Structure 1
């Protein structure tokens, strides 16, 4: 059973308790997907030069944010891990000559649990979290995803969790999205829908407003896109499932890769 892979923006941690069009979309998406055997998430909030893979039997919930309502710090997502899936991921990394390390006891960050809590609220599907390396090239990030593509045929749901436009220094109070943010998202959408990998790999040189949308200090939120894309069949064209904005520039989008 092959399940689509996704890039899913996790936006503000408040998505865990808010009710809006995006949270309703995530809940509906979770209900409509075939039930995965396991979920593997590349999270923007786990940026490491070394590839890390969780191996916990059950995950603690990391509240890796500050200044939010007290209710947020009481939320948990006690999803189980899956030792066999972690092992299988490690085998595929080793076969691809990628050095990796098992990680025990870290917990799952809000880039993982906020979206999974909306999609699969029962927390009864095994989860394995994976780090990203924002200093690698897009081609390398994509290649790491490709190593894991065989797991798509084994009922594993892959998610890249981040944000295509994610510059916290350029948030706005207005209700309408900033034109530059829309222009960047539109360029990315055009290339994703056409399957133009080489252009996407060069987004920082070709896309309009790339430095504002993906600042040098925030690349980790963009790169989960390439990891998720890599898990899909080579040449796969993407489908945009949702697009909206928070605070004028924080892009909320979901892309599906069959």
Structure 2
């Protein structure tokens, strides 16, 4: 069973406790996808110059945030890992001349488990987490994802977890999203649907409000998009599944890539 890949915004960690249009969408999405053989997540919250990947047989839950309600720190997502899948990923990286480093005992950060506990609440599907490198070029990030595309034919679900508009310094208490955030999302949407890689790779220079949407200190939330797109290079199709916002500017969207 070949599954599509996804870019999924994980928003605020509070999504784990919330019941709203976006969380209900994630629940339905998980039900519609059935049971993948394994899930591989490129997480914005694991940004490293080296390509790292988890190799655990079972994961701990990282509460890598502070200042949230106490209930947040009691939530767990004890998903199993898949050391055999981790080895396959390492072998694909090696065959494409990309050095990768296995990591044992890291746990799943909230960029991984917040969305998965909505999509697959039983926590019974094996998960492998992969780091991203926000300092690589978009083309390099895309090509790393493309290295792993063969695993989609084996029932592996790939997710890039981050946020297309993610600037914590520009959050607001407005009920309606800021126009500049909507403009940036719309620009990305148009180029994504056309699979216009040259323009997307140059988003920093060409996209409206790029500095606000993807600040220099927050690129790690945008780049999982390119890793996820790379896994869908064969079909080059993108479909926007939902678009919402938190705090005026924090973009909540899901793109299906196939």
User: TM-score, normalized by length of structure 1?
Assistant: 0.99
Q: Which runs of 5+ in 1 are unaligned?
A: none
Take 2:200 and 2:235, find their aligned partners in 1: how far apart are those partners? 13
Q: Distance in 1 between matches of 2:20 and 2:99?
A: 41
Cα distance in 2, alignment partners of residues 34 and 21 from structure 1:
21
**What secondary structure does 1:241 align onto?**
strand
Deviation of the 1:34 alpha carbon: 3.1
Q: Any idea what the Cα deviations from partners look like across 1:123-168, whole Å, max 9, x if unmatched?
A: 0000000000000000000000000000000000000000000000
Give the deviation of 1:35 after TM superposition.
1.4
Q: 1:237: Cα distance to partner?
A: 2.1
Deviation string 1:99-120 (CA, Å, 9 cap, x unpaired) is 0000001100000000000000
Structure 2 counterpart of 1:165: 165
Following superposition of structure 1 onto structure 2, how do residues 74-93 of structure 1 map, counting pairs within 5 Å?
74-93=74-93
Structure 1 runs (4+) greater than 2 angstroms displaced: none
1:171 Cα deviation (Å)?
0.4
State how 1:239-258 maps to structure 2 within 5 Å: 239-258=239-258
Give the Cα separation in 2 of the matches to 1:217 and 1:156: 31
Partner Cα separation in structure 1 for residue 145 and residue 64 of structure 2: 25
1:210-247 Cα deviation digits (max 9, x unpaired): 00000000000000000000001335120000100000
Query: In structure 2, what is the Cα distance between the partners aligned to 1:64 and 1:210?
Result: 27
Alignment of 1:186-197 (within 5 A): 186-197=186-197
Measured in 2, the distance between the counterparts of 1:91 and 1:217 equals 32
Is 1:68 paired with 2:37? no
Deviations 1:190-213 (A, max 9, x none): 000111111100000110000000
The alignment status of 1:224 with 2:224, answered yes or no, reads yes
Instruction: Give the TM-score normalised by the residue count of structure 2.
Output: 0.99
Output one character per residue of 1:29-84: Cα deviation in whole Å (capped at 9) or x when no partner. 00001310000000000000000010001000000000000000000000000011
In the comparison of the two structures, how many residue pairs are matched? 258
Query: Residue 10 of structure 1 corresponds to which residue in structure 2?
Result: 10
Alpha-carbon distance in structure 2 between the residues aligned to 1:226 and 1:180: 22
Tell me, in whole angstroms, the C-alpha distance in 2 between the residues paired with 1:58 and 1:84: 13
* Structure 2 unaligned blocks of 5 or more: none
Give RMSD over aligned pairs: 0.6
Q: How does 1:127-142 map to 2 (within 5 A)?
A: 127-142=127-142
Indicate the residue corresponding to 2:177 in structure 1.
Answer: 177
**Following the alignment from structure 1 to structure 2, what is the Cα–Cα distance between the partners of residues 210 and 138?**
14
